[in-house]
Chains A and B, each alone.
Chain A
Amino acid sequence: MALIYLDNAATSFPKPPCVLERAIQCISRDCGNAGRGGHPLAIASAERIYRCRESIVSLLGAPDPSRVIFTMNATYAINFLLKGILKSGDHVLISDLEHNAVLRPLEKLRQSIGISYDVFTTQPNCSAKEICADILTRRRPNTRVLICTQQSNICSYALPLAEIGALCRQCGMLFFVDAAQSAGHLPIDMEKMQIDALCAPGHKGLLGVQGCGFCLLGERIHPDTLIEGGSGYQSLSPTMPDEFPERGEAGTLPTPVITSLQAGIEYLGGIGQEKMVEHDRALFERLRDRLSDMAGYRIYLPEVSGSTLLFEKDGLPCDRIGSYLGEHGICVRSGYHCAPLAHKTLGSSEGGVRVSFGAFNTKEDVDTLCRTLRRMDFCHEVGGN
């Protein structure tokens, strides 16, 4: 049975051959420990990692390779950022589309040190002006940070980052972005969008292998450490160095993983950002149009095309649909997708079935998915399997 992978919002699959080749080359040829010695393998690894920092900066319009902090994933990067910046009494604004990667660290900080947070409305598909007006009504004198996703993980709605960034700068709020779903799919320019920090995984839209994410720091912030340990620098000091990236990178970095991420970014560069947007849009619209012609299917936000489509089917629990598709070799994700706020906002209170496209999906994948769903419908109607 041929496998069709439509769960790229969880992790992209397959990876481009160059990603695997680069990781294997690193492991087999020169995988030392970067910044932990002066021998050739340590230097080669440091060079590989620094090149990846440069590629990330170039792709995302970040200010400085030295302010690329590698972490184990995007969730860790968000934790590092929020826990390293927020103090007791601070107030935070988040959107109504946030993932638990944002919500849970904030809730933990609310309980542990007494921060507070409020949710602003996207509802979704409000205009940028409406969103900014809502942010202003919820802003308090102690609002220090606004953090939001660029694109929801359950639909293709993307927040107007440039407008929100301008508003935050004007009001003296720090602006943080969770780019877990958008990096590699949508254009991002940290400096133009006035983003103070941005977190992303390496293994989703950027096509690296699982095992690293990163936090990009703007010039205005200097987070405290989340964990402490060896940094390969100032070893005689009992405290972490004050300078980045070492301050945020205690312990050994996964050089093969970071090397693979750089290959993924290079691969994306070969495709081009505009082509990726068009690729996602074409697949979304093909699926939307076919599902619209099938009885009993509801698509959430059908008018907003992009890499992610959420649907449900009358009378069938979403997990049953997900299981059926899985049994027939089609990988989608059903349920709540770690995003209760977003499901509440979309009105998908019972969860949904998420189809998320990646660089290697084709229109034939969409057609096979729809044929399989039709077969499922038929079996359901006649009471079979």
Chain B
Amino acid sequence: MSMQNSDFYGICHIAIGSVNAAMRAQRALQRDGISASLIKNEGGKRDGGCLYGLALPCLLHERAKRILEENHISIHKK
């Protein structure tokens, strides 16, 4: 599963990869009207080191995933 609920306020994190890849993903979502914040993912060794991603309302989680797939943006596999 490439997305995870990160807290009870209903914010989901999408792990992407480098900061630039995450910004590319952010732009793709913006074009579809989804506002997402750039974050540095927690993960450490599991992710091979530093990793960036996006935080967005969980309500938009599935739609965001579809948009990223349509834009050929890889979601980091945990």
Chain A interface (Cβ < 8 Å from any Cβ of B): 34-35, 37-38, 42-43, 46-47, 50, 53-54, 65-66, 231-237, 241, 243, 245-246
Contact = CB atoms under 8 A, between A and B. Distances in A.
Contacts of B17: 233, 243
A37 B38 CA distance: 11
Nearest to B18: A233
21 contacts: A35-B19, A35-B52, A37-B40, A38-B39, A42-B40, A46-B23, A46-B38, A65-B20, A65-B24, A66-B20, A66-B21, A232-B18, A232-B19, A233-B49, A233-B50, A233-B52, A235-B50, A236-B48, A237-B48, A237-B49, A245-B20
Contacts of B38: 43, 46-47
A305 B2 CA distance: 57
Nearest to A231: B18
A243 B18 CA distance: 9
B49 A246 contact: no
Interface in B16-70: 17-21, 23-24, 27, 38-40, 45, 48-52
A63 to B, nearest CB: 12
B21 A46 contact: no
Given A37-B40, A38-B39, A235 B49 contact: yes
Shortest beta-carbon contacts, A-B, top 6: A38-B40, A235-B49, A35-B19, A236-B49, A233-B18, A50-B23
Q: Identify the interface centre among A35, A47, A66, A246: most chain B CB within 10 Å of its CB.
A: A35
Contact of B19 (A65, A233, A235, A237): A233
A214 to B, nearest CB: 14
Contact of B23 (A47, A231, A243): A47
Instruction: Please classify how large the interface on chain B is, using the bins under 10, 10 to 19, 20 to 34, 35 or more.
Output: 10 to 19
A46 B19 contact: yes
Contacts, number: 57
B49 A234 contact: yes
Contact of A50 (B20, B40, B48): B20
B20 to A, nearest CB: 5
B75 to A, nearest CB: 14
A231 B19 CA distance: 10
Contacts of A243: 17-18, 21
Contacts of B24: 65-66
Nearest to A230: B50
Q: Identify the interface centre among B17, B23, B24, B40: most chain A CB within 10 Å of its CB.
A: B23
Contacts of A241: 18
Given A42-B40, A234-B18, A235-B48, 18 more contacts: A35-B18, A35-B19, A35-B20, A35-B50, A35-B52, A38-B39, A38-B52, A46-B19, A46-B23, A46-B38, A47-B38, A53-B20, A234-B48, A235-B49, A236-B48, A237-B49, A243-B18, A246-B20
Q: Identify the interface centre among B39, B48, B50: most chain A CB within 10 Å of its CB.
A: B50
A57 to B, nearest CB: 11
B73 to A, nearest CB: 10
Nearest to B41: A38
A232 B48 CA distance: 11
A245 B22 CA distance: 12
B25 to A, nearest CB: 11
A34 B40 CA distance: 11
Nearest to B53: A38
Contacts of A47: 23, 38
A243 B21 CA distance: 9
Nearest to B24: A66
Contacts of B52: 35, 38, 233
A234 B19 CA distance: 11
Contacts of A245: 20
A35 B40 CA distance: 9
A12 B48 CA distance: 43
Contacts of B51: 233
Contact of A246 (B18, B39, B48): B18
A317 B51 CA distance: 59
B49 A34 contact: no
Contacts of B50: 35, 232-235
